[in-house]
Amino acid sequence: MKQQAVGKQTVKFDNPPIILSHASVVGEMEGQGPLASYFDQIEPDPAFGKDSWEEGESEMVRRACQTAISKSGITKSDIRYIFGGDLLGQLIGTTFGLKDFDIPVFGLYGACSTCGESLSLAAMTVAAGYAANALAVTSSHYGSAEKQFRFPLEYGNQRPLSATWTVTGSGAFIVSSTNTEQPMNQYPHITSVTTGKIVDYGVRDNMNMGACMAPAAADVIYQCLTDLQMKPTQFDKIITGDLGKIGSEILIKLLLDNGYDIISQHMDCGVEIYDNDKQDTHSGGSGCGCSAVTLSGYILHQMKEHIWQRVLFVPTGALLSTVSFNEGQTIPGTAHALVIEQKKE
Amino acid sequence: MKIKQNDDAYNKYVDAITPKHNSFINCANAFWIGGLICIIGQAIYDLSMNYFDCNKEDAASWTSTILVLLSVILTGFNVYKKIAKLGGAGALVPITGFANSVAAPTIEYQKEGEVFGKGVKVFTIAGPVILFGVFTSWVLGVIYWILKIAGIV
């Protein structure tokens, strides 16, 4: 078999897997944002008809997977693996959402970068021939995340301007294999994945996640462009997960210092998902759901409409827990980069 | 990456570009919201003295009780959060803020049961206030006792 690993951290697929189908389920706040019309389901009940935020998050995961499967034309039994993750301790959002699907599961944690991690692993698995179809799913929920990482929802405090707002949403993607006879050019392809390292610039402010994650995003974008020997101008968009306004500004500067100007290509899911002035979300949206629903809803729509042919999708994550934070540790970041292409038919 | 900033330089840069709340506006909001809560307290106190024949101690107890009740009701309707967002410390320092910090976790952790949910988590935010409040009054009590023995007070 030909070597598909290129450069230091990238895998470039000989037969790039496709995203056969995808689905997004979001909460009310996201449903009032500028991307509302792109989502499959907007649920006004924050508990998704269940008793708690956590059960609600699981229900959201279940609905996202179910919708992706129904839209795909294949059945549940055609899916060999699920790669899933969320922000909650021991991945309870994912576990209880997936337990009735009866499909083998890999539970993943990459903080808010999990969407990139799950898609990368699903793509690698199907490209290697270990499965014909794999499902990648991630979720986050404002209520459950606030409860775990910050304060109870009803507690009154002032959020700094650099704080982000956890997106209530789940995105699911069915990744399927292709071969030279059937390149399936009508679907978007994941042509390469660059796995990110843990990057720590010593930031300790958990209310400024953008600053914690921007160096990791810069690092993986730099490595991806170097490994593939490409220039930012060869992409229609370079899309980060949830850096927010401040993190985006830092990312652009860090890459400029390293000789890559991405200012005209860069877009951030966290900045796009809310109308910051009207919805008072400060620096933007965050969470595993943020990049997942923006990819599923907005980005893949733009690609199917041939508005964008090639994008670099870079979900970003801040690696902390309340324990590491209280014990005074820094907040490292991580990010994974995927090249997604839509061929002209 | 080729060029990596050192941590100190990066943190300084982050600090420089991160927007901050305007302290003057924040202080002004804290002043009028905190002041308003105190006026409501004073009104309850005066009303109970003048119209309900309370003595000083009873009037003070009614004042705290009613303020706490109001805060808990507003917390339940998710209104206190909005007041605190605007008022900051002006809404957190008065007794109403304390009540909010006890009511909020009780609502949030209700789902985790009577003992391990509400029972364990009820003072997650207010716990330090109680602990250090009691400890401080104990220290002051000891100082007062020593000064009294020494004949200074």
Query: How far apart are the C-alpha atoms of A155 and A159, rounded to whole Å?
Result: 12
Whole-number pLDDT of residue A281: 92
In terms of pTM, does the model score above 0.80? yes
Read off the pLDDT of each residue in B13-26 and give the average, rounded to a whole number: 94
A interface residues, B as partner, C-beta within 8 Å: 51-52, 147, 151-162, 201-203, 205, 208, 211, 215, 218-219, 222-223, 246, 249-250, 254, 257-259
- Chain B hits for A258, CB-CB cut-off 8 Å, are 1-3
Query: Is B10 part of the contact surface with chain A (CB cutoff 8 Å)?
Result: yes
Residue A100: which of A76, A83, A119 has the closest Cα?
A76
Do A59 and A169 reside in the same domain of the chain? yes
Whole-number pLDDT of residue B4: 83
H helices within chain A, ranges in order? 28-31, 53-72, 92-98, 114-127, 142-149, 209-228, 244-257, 269-273, 276-279, 288-293, 300-304, 322-326
Q: Give whole-number Cα distances, A265 to A119, A261, A298, B79, in Å.
A: 22, 9, 16, 41
Q: Which domain holds residue A228?
A: 189-341
CATH number at residue A70: 3.40.47.40
Model confidence at B8: pLDDT above 70: yes
Whole-number pLDDT of residue A126: 97
| Structure confidence by residue, pLDDT tens digits, B67-97 | 999 999 999 999 999 999 999 999 999 999 9
Could you tell me the pLDDT band of residue A274, with boundaries at 50, 70 and 90? very high
Whole-number pLDDT of residue A81: 98
Do A11 and A149 reside in the same domain of the chain? yes
- Chain B hits for A218, CB-CB cut-off 8 Å, are 1
Do A108 and A63 reside in the same domain of the chain? yes
Asked if the structure places residue A182 within a domain, the reply is: no
Last residue of a domain, one of A124, A154, A176: A176
- What's the burial of A16, exposed, middle or buried (CB within 10 Å: 0-12/13-18/19+)? buried
Check CB contact under 8 Å for B1 and A158: no
Read off the pLDDT of each residue in A138-153 and give the average, rounded to a whole number: 95
Check CB contact under 8 Å for B109 and A152: yes
Q: Give Dmax (Cα) for chain B.
A: 78
Asked if the structure places residue A311 within a domain, the reply is: yes
Asked if the structure places residue A111 within a domain, the reply is: yes
Shortest Cα distance, chain A CAs vs residue B93, angstroms: 11
Shortest Cα distance, chain A CAs vs residue B46, angstroms: 28
Check CB contact under 8 Å for B19 and A162: yes
Do A29 and A164 reside in the same domain of the chain? yes
CB atoms within 10 A of CB A90: 9
Do A86 and A202 reside in the same domain of the chain? no
Nearest Cα residue in chain B from A255: B1
Question: First and final CA of chain B: distance in angstroms?
Answer: 68
| Structure confidence by residue, pLDDT tens digits, B31-73 | 999 999 999 999 999 999 999 999 999 999 999 999 999 999 9
Could you tell me the pLDDT band of residue A2, with boundaries at 50, 70 and 90? confident
Asked if the structure places residue A183 within a domain, the reply is: no
Q: Which of B1, B81, B83 sits opposite A218 (nearest CB)?
A: B1
Whole-number pLDDT of residue A313: 98
Could you tell me the pLDDT band of residue A1, with boundaries at 50, 70 and 90? low
Interface test with A, best of B10, B18, B100 (most A CBs within 10 A): B18
Query: Is B126 part of the contact surface with chain A (CB cutoff 8 Å)?
Result: no
- Chain A hits for B8, CB-CB cut-off 8 Å, are 202
Asked if the structure places residue A292 within a domain, the reply is: yes
- Chain A hits for B125, CB-CB cut-off 8 Å, are 151-152, 155
Last residue of a domain, one of A176, A201, A223: A176
What are the φ/ψ torsions at residue B94 (nearest 5 degrees)? Answer: -60, 165
| Structure confidence by residue, pLDDT tens digits, A234-267 | 999 999 999 999 999 999 999 999 999 999 999 9
**Percentage above 70 pLDDT, chain A:** 99
Do A169 and A214 reside in the same domain of the chain? no
ipTM score? 0.90
Whole-number pLDDT of residue B3: 83
Do A122 and A94 reside in the same domain of the chain? yes
Q: How many residues can be counted in chain A?
A: 345
Whole-number pLDDT of residue A337: 98
Model confidence at A39: pLDDT above 70: yes
- Residue A270 is encoded by which pair of tokens? 């966290």
DSSP for A258-292 reads: TT---TTTEEEHHHHHS-HHHHT-TT-EESHHHHH
Do A172 and A196 reside in the same domain of the chain? no
Model confidence at B153: pLDDT above 90: no
Query: Is B109 part of the contact surface with chain A (CB cutoff 8 Å)?
Result: yes
| Structure confidence by residue, pLDDT tens digits, A215-226 | 999 999 999 999
Whole-number pLDDT of residue A90: 95
- Chain B hits for A201, CB-CB cut-off 8 Å, are 5, 7, 10-11
Could you tell me the pLDDT band of residue A165, with boundaries at 50, 70 and 90? very high
Do A197 and A108 reside in the same domain of the chain? no
Do A168 and A268 reside in the same domain of the chain? no
Residues 6+ apart with CB under 8 A from A97: A57, A58, A59, A60, A61, A62, A65, A84, A137, A139, A170
Asked if the structure places residue A140 within a domain, the reply is: yes
Last residue of a domain, one of A123, A151, A176: A176
Asked if the structure places residue A230 within a domain, the reply is: yes
Contact A27, A169 (CB under 8 A): yes
Question: How many domains is chain A partitioned into structurally?
Answer: 2
Asked if the structure places residue A181 within a domain, the reply is: no
Residues 6+ apart with CB under 8 A from A181: none
Interface test with A, best of B10, B14, B79, B80 (most A CBs within 10 A): B14
Do A169 and A227 reside in the same domain of the chain? no
Nearest Cα residue in chain A from B72: A154
Do A216 and A332 reside in the same domain of the chain? yes
- Chain B hits for A153, CB-CB cut-off 8 Å, are 78, 81, 104, 108
| Structure confidence by residue, pLDDT tens digits, A176-210 | 999 999 889 999 999 999 999 999 999 999 999 99
